[in-house]
Chains A and B, each alone.
Chain A
């Protein structure tokens, strides 16, 4: 009898195995680049978080609706009054996909891994800011010590880069761990062929999801991720039914897809630093605030956004995207498109076209600016628009497209007049990366000690209202000083087949909560 039963079980397993998931249970998700590495503790790509947010759980989650942190692997936590010690009380009964139990020791192991110099982390380590050490209090209590208070710390812990990995799996696989990742999330990391695809399979035992997830366990059996580096191929892949969801559809294709009843565009605004052109305040003639203001007045941002981004992105008015915590709406009052004013300012500084060649000059020097562009994010198109808009005012622009490492070098050496950048992130501390005098991206070459203090204080201030007040000052100071020309807020245009329901995104805007996704026929 037992043997017959065993055979029946075996047979049904084989049959189920052969049948595989039906098309209602299997989704295909198009990613826009094949990341060079997808270990969230090691690599920095934002693309890796799209699949792996569903493989790993984090200690806390950021609820995008309320902006509040909610429990994840930590049931609750408290922060010492000096802001230096975070104590996390961990959820019991959580197991990693390989059966390893999750506990305080696992948290210690993960933090030790991320901060180990041998791992050469490209992102996670630096997100931890003034992290000092971790202390296991008991099996389900862990304390993290910081050397100074760090307001973005919970935001850091809520991201996939700080996802909790199975210590046993990390030990077992070593350098090749990224091909065999093991978390505790709603999906199991089943297969990864670098550059080709990633396959996730439903974790049937998942029972510890945060309140931001609507379902207890994943609704799909399998999700396959494929890479579509060339933007022109993304919309065709969606339209041929090869994928069900595709990120970063080019704006012109999005406009076309919208009119197709089988698909929809789900635009997700991304918080962080807007796409902005940094003006080098150290290099003449941009060392004169009036010239920088003139450039701001001379820029018809609405025209750029309408044509390059097909109305799919909001015009940016300041250094922070409008959906970011602490955004100061008063920046919208600055610098409307006003050619008259721009010309008046330039004339005031002494720039006029004396030799009639169409380019303004002063003391025999033409008004010519060096613009460096990177090849991605529609920067070349935006550059073209700036050049043509400014040409009408007699401003000449020499533009060139450079690689990212070269852009970093050019900007560090201050060879530029103008150079654009944007960066996503849910915490306004991102401003410190751009406007602190010591910042790596201080491409405006600003050294405003008061602004430095505001940024440093805000990073150490845990009271949200006080932080927001400091960031408001920073944003106003940036626009007062005409340090940047904001262009647009980033919006990720997701192309979605109409058979997909329940696609939601985390507070970063990049990472889908796949547990809630369902498919119909």
Chain B
């Protein structure tokens, strides 16, 4: 608990420092193009508390948070909690769907490659894996739109509203994730295959399928889970490029916009949220790992 609070404090403080170091004045950015005079911009700066000494601003920034007040967005003019809340659901849906695709596809590929080591299949899987994490999603996204929406007319190119809208972004993002998962599963499975407990299982005459499913995979999954958890936490922070290509709303777009406009309350809100997600995801993945791999249980307890 204390550790989580420390992580949180560190994250918001770093965000404050980064925003402070970034050039540009929020009041000026908001008002300059609207024909506001220098005096009117100065008035707004005072109103936003930007004229106070840095320490005062920092204490207010952390203090509001400690009281559970995320404040009002300077850009949106609405409560930060609401602004974030609106972006959260679509982001979470995409994160879950993309992770499912990434895990399913990555696991299949990795397992295939490991079981058919040093064959053409192994080479092919490695090539696909490299392709997947080296292909930028803005490119694969546009390509998917051109093929599945424009050419074949199967799926909508953009927006939200139904499961059909989710397919393309989840596939594109899931594919990008699958590469690292496949590689990891491939290496781990290859390692585990020669471990004594696998040899023992085989010696006991268990069917190959059972050995793979209950012994090899279970042992290999632990480390893969850590990677998946990290990536999932990362996705919950928003997949900005995928969101943009498929015209979806989400935290990624929100945070980029907030940083661009120096909207400090929104940045703070998202940082707090992301830090909480990370802490939570790690805890969950530790617990699940322990359940999967008995060797880790003692460490955790």
Contact = CB atoms under 8 A, between A and B. Distances in A.
A329 interface: no
Interface string A388-418: 0000000000000011111011101000000
A37 B29 contact: no
A236 interface: yes
Interface string A411-446: 010000000000100000000010000101100000
5 contacts: A120-B74, A195-B250, A195-B254, A196-B249, A406-B24
B145 A408 contact: no
Given A37-B75, A405-B25, A408-B29, A240 B249 contact: no
A44 interface: yes
Given A127-B34, A175-B79, A242 B159 contact: yes
A233 B247 contact: yes
B32 A441 contact: yes
B158 A226 contact: yes
Contacts of A86: none
B75 A233 contact: no
Contact of B247 (A123, A178, A227): A227
B268 interface: no
A228 interface: yes
A177 to B, nearest CB: 10
B159 A229 contact: no
A176 interface: yes
Nearest to A118: B47
Contacts of B77: 37, 39, 42-43, 119-120, 122, 175, 178
Given A39-B77, A196-B249, A409 B25 contact: yes
Given A126-B34, A126-B36, A240-B150, A229 B253 contact: yes
A43 B23 CA distance: 23
Interface in A230-248: 230, 232-233, 236-237, 239-240, 242
B296 interface: no
Contacts of A119: 77
B40 interface: yes
A229 B244 contact: yes
A122 B44 CA distance: 10
B146 interface: yes
B24 A409 contact: yes
Contact of B28 (A37, A127, A236, A408): A408
B160 interface: yes
Nearest to B262: A405
A36 interface: yes
Contact of B87 (A120, A129, A195): A195
Interface in A175-209: 175-176, 178, 193-197
Interface in B203-256: 244-247, 249-250, 253-254
B55 to A, nearest CB: 22
Given A34-B253, A120-B44, A232 B142 contact: yes
A233 B160 contact: no
A117 interface: yes
Contact of B38 (A230, A237, A404, A438): A438
A37 B74 CA distance: 10
B35 A126 contact: yes
B75 A36 contact: yes
A404 B260 contact: yes
A228 B247 contact: yes
A405 B44 contact: no
A240 B78 contact: no
Contacts of A405: 22-26, 28-29, 260-262
A2 B38 CA distance: 67
Contact of A440 (B41, B156, B246, B257): B41
Nearest to B146: A236
Interface in B42-56: 43-44, 47
B300 interface: no
Nearest to A229: B244
Contacts of B146: 236
A122 B156 contact: no
A-B residue pairs, 4 tightest by C-beta: A405-B24, A195-B249, A405-B29, A123-B34
Interface in B138-158: 138, 142, 145-146, 149-150, 153, 156-158
A332 to B, nearest CB: 27
B191 interface: no
Given A120-B47, A405-B23, A233 B76 contact: no
Nearest to A413: B23
A239 B23 contact: no
Given A44-B34, A122-B77, 5 more contacts: A175-B77, A230-B244, A236-B157, A408-B32, A409-B23
A227 B72 CA distance: 24
Nearest to B150: A236
Contacts of B83: 194
B4 interface: no
Interface in B95-144: 138, 142
B34 A122 contact: yes
Contacts of A229: 244, 247, 253
B86 interface: yes
Contact of B30 (A122, A176, A195): A122
Contacts of A438: 37-38
Contact of B160 (A196, A230, A433, A441): A196
Contact of A242 (B28, B35, B157, B160): B157
B280 interface: no
Interface in B1-29: 22-26, 28-29
Contacts of B34: 44, 122-123, 126-127
